[in-house]
Amino acid sequence: MNFTSRRRTHHRSEETEDLTALLPPPPVPGLDPDRELLLKEALLNKAAVTEPRGGLTPRTSRPRRHLVRVMVPAVACALAVGGIMVVNLADTPGRGTTAVTGGRAPGTSEAAQLLDRIALAAAGKKQPTVGADQFVYIESKVAYAGQSAGGGKVTMPPAHTRQVWLSADGSRPGLLREEGEPDSSLGEDAPVYDLDSRGATPRPRTSQKKAASISDPTHAYVASLPTDPDALLKLIRDETHGQGQDPDQRAFTAIGDLLAETWAPPQVSAALYRAAAKIPGVTVVDAATDAAGREGIAVARTAHGQQTQWVFDRTTYAFLGERTVLTESGDAGPAGTVVGTSAVLTKAAVDRTGETPAPTTA
């Protein structure tokens, strides 16, 4: 049994003045892009304070969260091992898109406003350049619900540590180290041999390296992505065509994976958030918790009986982690049951697999 990782026309005359007041201010000539971003952020903050119907309000300052999320498998095939079946968080056909408690209705602009603030914060972050011969290191806490082979409610194990080393240019094998499991090599294909005739000595076939893509990215590939949100979203839709039944959910999932599984440069991260804001059905969840117990605000999308939530720090808008929640009651449990969760603890560039970055000091 599998479970998937988600506008009256006004009369002129008296209303003209009121409508004019609603229009955004005209662009100020001579401002560079960074200054325009700062002005935009100030306007959004003012709107958040005065917005009716429960809009976002300023929060008490918290310690800054460092870094983002870990790699969550886009397709975690159901495996029956020792009587335990791993819950599938992939995008598969389902039965509707019911929002869970705390999710706001699709079609509002609140999610787009929040994602724009998140994009502004991401664009302003300082990030070192990752060398082509280096590895992107990601450490996280993860947990995925399981179900016995006989069915019944799913159970969530304790979160465990997950470390991954990914070759920046894809030229060298990476490494996955998961607590309680043997190390796994990443991006290294098994050798293939050709046999020219019966009795001949097998000869190794010259393998051709598969090009990086949205579904199989390298750091170098992600760094080269367009920073125009429309162009980026089109590219994502084109490259994920056919990977599931719901193109909007495919795009949302792919963006989440790119944000989590690679260390995207700041401008690319900002473009990914703005691209996500253009996907129909994206909502805001007022409170969500990552696998490390850090509570924040979430951007979410519901599809096929599950809601995928990206959890952000309320103050810094740093991406904390992700979780997947059932939106329909069933054999696996009631609506609201968490079936997958992650929390990014560290992202850094290192020189070799197995190497971890030096601890940072406050």
Q: What is the pLDDT of residue 360?
A: 59
Query: Which segments within the chain are labelled E, that is strand?
Result: 80-81, 84-86, 135-144, 146-148, 160-167, 174-178, 184-186, 193-194, 203-204, 282-289, 295-303, 306-312, 319-326, 338-350
Q: What is the pLDDT of residue 207?
A: 53
Mapping DSSP onto H, E and C, the string for 204-226 reads ECCCCCCCCCCCCCCHHHHHCCC
CB atoms within 10 A of CB 205: 10
Rounded to whole angstroms, how far apart are CA atoms 164 and 344? 11
The pLDDT profile of the chain, 362 residues, written as one tens digit per residue, is 444 333 333 333 333 334 334 444 444 444 444 444 544 554 444 444 333 333 332 322 222 222 222 233 333 333 333 333 333 333 333 333 334 444 444 444 799 999 999 999 999 999 999 999 999 999 999 999 998 777 888 999 999 999 999 999 999 999 999 999 999 999 765 555 555 655 566 666 555 567 899 989 999 999 999 999 999 999 999 999 887 778 999 999 999 999 888 899 999 999 999 999 999 999 999 999 999 999 999 999 999 999 999 999 999 999 999 999 999 999 899 999 999 999 999 999 999 999 999 875 43
CA–centroid distance for 19 within its chain: 37
* Model-wide pTM > 0.85: no
Question: With 0-12 CB in 10 A as exposed, 13-18 as middle and 19+ as buried, what is 198?
Answer: exposed
